[in-house]
Structure 1
Amino acid sequence: MRHGERVGVIVVNWNAGDLLLSCVESIAGQTIAPERVLIVDNASTDDSLGDLEERFPQFEVLRQPVNRGFACANNIGIDRLVDVDWIALLNPDAIAHPDWLENLLASARQYPTVVSFGSKMLRPGSDVLDGTGDVYHVSGLAWRRDHGSKDTLVHHRADQIFSPCGAAAFYRRDALKTVGGFDSRFFCYMEDVDLGFRLRLLGHQSLYVPSAVVEHVGSGITGRRSDFSVYFGHRNLVWTYFKNMPSALLYRYLLLHLVVNTMAIARYTRRGQGGVVLKAKRDGFVGLKAMLRSRREVQFSRIVSTSELLQSMSTGYSALVGR
């Protein structure tokens, strides 16, 4: 692999069961072999690692003594992969098509100023999309673009996205180091949006690569509507907004942010998860003191104009319906 194109792949595992083996096999079957593959295990208590090290001795396994979360585990991997130019992230519940890395690298060559790329994520064995990149709304809500849509109907060309979904993302390593990597305080959920937001504030763009395909179970380990995912997703939604949104936009849309949070509490209460989402919002606002300290540094280093940043976000109110 040529200098400037060396790729390291990070898989963060936590009790992924048989899904992990399928994921690792898909990495081993890539048409372009990565320079290094690192599996960071977050103190799994199942047998997901099994005989992985014997079957794939060319891959490295880092066993953590405790579950430090998706964000921190990826940072450990990024710090370890000092000899690569690009970092590819792949969730253990995702299977990469054989030319996934090849097509991501081809896009990196074609768009040399872009530092992050997103994949096409399909539901396993179907033409239904799990997502084509992350959307960030001015209210602070974020979601996967095209989730649940037919692949045949949407986005067949490379185009701009707010940020790549961390389940199958591709980043220039030096850009990750410049912004400090993932925020480990997030633990998991929204950490990829927070990272993408900080990259955007430095003037970087993100591109969706439709030919870079993975099949993604989607919350295959924690559960899409589990208490775990609801808690971290909704706590971190608050943190992402107050940490990263420039003041002019923060105050303009603050009331809307409070409204969508109130609506979320009502919606999850109807589903029987009112206590979980209330705790998430409470902890989110309690943790704002630390986030506001980080905000000063983030906003001080901002390069992008408010108007340019706004163009990368979703602004329509109709997009909020049902979210």
Structure 2
Amino acid sequence: MIDNGSSDGTARLLAEHPSKPRTLRLSSNKGYAGALAAALSIVDTPFIAWLNDDAEPVPGWLAALEDELAKAPEAAAAGSRLEHADGSPQSLGVRLTADGHGADLTEPAPDVFGFCGGAVLLRTDVLREIGGVPAEFFCYYEDTDTAWRLRLAGWDIRQVAEARVKHLHGASTAPGSPRFHLWNERNRLLLLLRCAPAAVAVKQLVKFTALTAVLPFRGEPEAPNFRLTLRLRVLAAILTRLPATLRARREIAAGATLDRGEVWDAWAGG
């Protein structure tokens, strides 16, 4: 159990639980990405499963993912079919847009760029080899970043229709909220600086900055992601993290077997 800086009695509940779970208590809330990174440091199984706390797998979910990786040694991750409460698809894998967004697929596709991190199984050793989980993301885009690094390292990613999970999408952060957009916008740019071809990353950062600069002349926007204060916070976070991000970019390149341009050309805009 990863106790993510809880303050609601979880620590006492775990300490007193008859099952005596192995517990790693974090000093503060590190978010989904931070908790995954902490778990990876102590997991000793061949596979590691990511599962959101607002996701409920149907019987056979984990077995279906394990079976897929067992028969596909070239694949390092197997993603799930995430469904809304009514059974309609929320994510059937992730595609890479022409401007570097990770977008959920809602129609079956023969191949997927990546997986939704709400429910996925990964090879533990491979995840460690490509640099683990970007804990600094807190939440959002840690899955697309991981998928991108797997692609750069030459690994395949599978999507398993039989591995079904009911998902209350955004139950923790409410998509459309300022907090959601802050993490989403920041992490997309960090992802591009880490993984994308340099020209793509610079173009998207310049585009974001230029749009931010003209916002005071366009009136008060309705969408939170176009509010000046939020976007300035994003840019400040990018600037603060830039040295560490560029170091990570070099490390990712050192472990890659494919060129960044190859991966971008193969998947962007799909």
Shift in CA distance, 252/180, structure 1 to aligned 2, threshold 3 Å: closer
Within the alignment, does 1:177 sit opposite 2:128 as a pair?
Answer: yes
Q: Please name the residue that 2:104 is paired with.
A: 144
Q: Superposition pairs for residues 26-175 of structure 1, below 5 Å?
A: 39-46=1-8, 57=19, 60-82=22-44, 84-124=45-85, 126-146=86-106, 154-155=107-108, 159-175=110-126
| Higher relative contact order structure (alpha carbons within 8 Å, sequence separation ≥ 6) | 2
Q: Please name the residue that 1:149 is paired with.
A: none
Q: Please name the residue that 1:150 is paired with.
A: none
Percent of residue pairs bearing the same amino acid type: 26
Correspondence for 1:298 among 252, 255, 261: 252
Distance in 2 of aligned mates of 1:144 and 1:264: 26
Query: Following TM superposition, by how much is the alpha carbon of 1:286 offset from its aligned partner in structure 2, in angstroms?
Result: 3.9
CA RMSD of aligned residues (A): 2.8
Within the alignment, does 1:270 sit opposite 2:222 as a pair?
Answer: yes
Unaligned runs of at least 5 residues, structure 2? none
Query: Following TM superposition, by how much is the alpha carbon of 1:212 offset from its aligned partner in structure 2, in angstroms?
Result: 0.4
Q: Is the 8 A contact 1:139 1:260 kept in 2?
A: no
Distance in 2 of aligned mates of 1:231 and 1:288: 17
Letter in 1 for 2:241: G
Distance in 2 of aligned mates of 1:314 and 1:236: 18
Q: Is the 8 A contact 1:118 1:164 kept in 2?
A: yes
TM-score of the aligned structures, taking structure 1 as reference length: 0.72
Letter in 1 for 2:34: C
- What is the aligned length? 264
Letter in 2 for 1:279: R
Distance in 2 of aligned mates of 1:253 and 1:240: 9
- Greater Cα offset, 73-82 or 273-282: 273-282
Q: Is the 8 A contact 1:53 1:60 kept in 2?
A: no
Q: Please name the residue that 1:251 is paired with.
A: 199
